[in-house]
A and B are shown apart, each in its own frame.
Chain A
Amino acid sequence: MSARRESGGAASPDAPAVPLGGSGRRRAAIGTAWIAFAAALIVFPVVFSNPTVTTIGVFTLVYMTSATAWNGFAGFSGYVPLGHAVFFGVGGYTLALVALHLKMAGGYAMFALVPLGGVAAAVIAVPFGLIALRTRRHTFVVITIAVFFIVQLLAFNLGFTQGSSGVQIPTPLWTAATFNDRFYYAALIVLALAVLVVWGIRRSRFGLQLLAIRDDEDRARGLGVKVQRVKLVGFVLSGVTVGMAGGIYAFFVGQVYPQFAFDPLFDVTVALMAFFGGLGTISGPLLGALLLEPIQQYLTLQYSVGSLYLIIYGALFLVVILAMPRGVIPTAGEYLQMRRARRVERADGRSPAATPSVEVAPLGRASR
């Protein structure tokens, strides 16, 4: 019994409170996979230098960041916001408007405005969160959508956002061959930041409190968790990261319009990516964005029908809901564990010394 239970992530004193890996060997394998994944992302533009491919690369990184940040709040707290496009747009507009008023020429200095986009997103996220987080579940979803449309309407109508004509962003005078690479690596840095933040949250006491809120908010309150504060901090952190992704996106595209910077499809896309990969996991949203965003870009480029991907998305969404309601990563993880457990059982059966511990096996499996 003991061997099987320990492989389920036993309570050794130095283990993280939220078990991430499991046994040492498995954790090493997961670590190696992460390093390989990071290395692949770093060398990608060197190997595939075709501008069309690197363009898709930049968009994919931006969506990987957004999905990771969205999931860092939604996946852990159980609250599903569909208004994160507000932060995406605010990040983009901040970069565009500051560059406009400072009369900046497009260059590396523009990247310094990306964190400023995050700050602006935080300024919006605090009142947004204070209002929306007073409600729960469906009401919360509806409120976030409503706030989103209000902000989009403001972008159309306020004087300083220049209405529906939007704001042009100065284009850097970089050589065409390496033009995309700089955006690619800037986006990669923001992505790394997003993953680190979410990973840190998951290990932290704050993350544990978010997970407790997901399971039973009122009970968490009764155990001393300051639920409003915890939810607000999670919401703002997530908004800041999405704001920075929006800044990179706007700079890369070279202009911001109300209907593109504040795009209702942004939230649907990001949520689908997180659901597809696995809500509440770290690798899930990355995988979701890595698969879905290139498909969208490819379909748009190949068939020059901008909305074809929506049909594909809809179909994919149905498949995920029907076949793997918890997403690819959790379902795959379960499948692997079941196979391993079966292998252990077979080994038990062969060795005459081992007695099959019938009443323990299901418990060990269920505890994962």
Chain B
Amino acid sequence: MSAHLEVEGVSKAFGGLRALSLCSLSVEKGSIAGLIGPNGSGKTTLFNVITGYVRPDAGTVALGGTPITSARPDEVFALGLGRTFQLTRIFARLTVLENMLVATQRKEGWLRSVARPAASSAEQRRAIELLDFVGLTRLASARAGTLSYGQRKLLELAYVLVADPSVILLDEPAGGVNPTLINEIRERILALNSEGKTFLVVEHNMEFVMGLCHTVTVMHQGSAIVTGTPDAVRSDPRVLDAYLGGGEEQDDDVAVG
């Protein structure tokens, strides 16, 4: 076991707002790590920094020893780090299958990409396999915009898997989803984890986090204050402090751009 995703002293300010201050975090290879904290504690900003959407003012991010601090989102994804968004983001006017194919990675120049068809039969097969895995195959030719909220969550998980990432960041996978589907999502995460995939999960549903994660990190005012097993974190006085006292209520859904 070694740290696969390593965040070291990351800071980020938006104007006068310090979204992250000297935040450090490491996720072991093959583990499911949870990230919790009150609204505005910087969880989503940290995700944006890790995936290259936001450039940090200070600090480093490394994936499997490779620094990715200044990599663009497409490069981060190609290196094997996939991510879902808090509010699901799918390509609404494309079909479910086409959504999957967008995430297919190929090393080819622009001329080849213009000349070659959108997907080889192998790539389509792979996409269908993953749709099978999340149970959306029968909707493969439906427009993604017609899917329900829960189905969108599953689609987002499925197309992140297309590129076979080693680490998957999930931003509130259980948010706004009914209990049956929450269980389904949990099972998928566990199945993928048993294949060796590493997860970092932001979630407000404590039952979900505590039941799923091997380690949990608590964020407060832009830094990680406690990391430990779910049981240890639950009984840590600093955590109660963070949730009950101090810290202004802010929307931590910082726009990506």
Contacts and interface: CB of A to CB of B under 8 A. Distances in A.
Interface string A186-225: 0000000000000011011111110110111011111111
Q: How large is the interface on A (under 10, 10 to 19, 20 to 34, 35 or more residues)?
A: 35 or more
A16 interface: yes
A352 interface: no
B91 A211 contact: yes
B256 interface: yes
A157 to B, nearest CB: 35
Contact of B141 (A19, A218, A221, A225): A19
Given A17-B98, A205-B116, A227-B74, A211 B93 contact: yes
B77 interface: yes
Interface residues of B, number: 49
- Chain A residues touching B, majority SS: helix
Contacts of B73: 218, 221-222
A368 B142 CA distance: 7
A106 interface: no
Contact of A219 (B72, B90, B105, B125): B90
B101 A17 contact: yes
B235 to A, nearest CB: 36
B163 interface: yes
A74 to B, nearest CB: 15
Given A366-B146, A367-B141, A367-B146, A211 B94 contact: yes
Interface stretch (B16-24, B31-39, B107-115): B107-115
B102 A209 contact: yes
A220 B118 CA distance: 15
Interface in B135-191: 138, 140-143, 146, 159-160, 162-163
Contacts, number: 134
A237 B76 CA distance: 28
A222 B140 contact: no
A206 B94 CA distance: 14
A64 to B, nearest CB: 22
B240 interface: no
A202 to B, nearest CB: 9
A26 interface: no
Interface of B: 51, 53, 72-74, 76-78, 83, 85, 89-95, 97-98, 101-106, 110, 113-119, 121, 124-125, 128, 138, 140-143, 146, 159-160, 162-163, 256-257
Given A223-B77, A367-B143, 20 more contacts: A5-B138, A5-B141, A16-B118, A203-B118, A204-B118, A205-B116, A205-B118, A211-B93, A214-B93, A215-B94, A219-B90, A222-B51, A222-B74, A222-B83, A224-B77, A225-B74, A233-B114, A363-B146, A367-B146, A368-B143
30 contacts: A8-B141, A9-B141, A10-B140, A13-B124, A13-B125, A17-B98, A17-B124, A204-B115, A205-B104, A205-B117, A205-B119, A206-B110, A206-B113, A206-B114, A208-B94, A208-B98, A212-B94, A215-B91, A216-B92, A219-B89, A220-B102, A221-B53, A221-B72, A221-B73, A222-B51, A222-B83, A223-B162, A230-B113, A237-B114, A367-B143
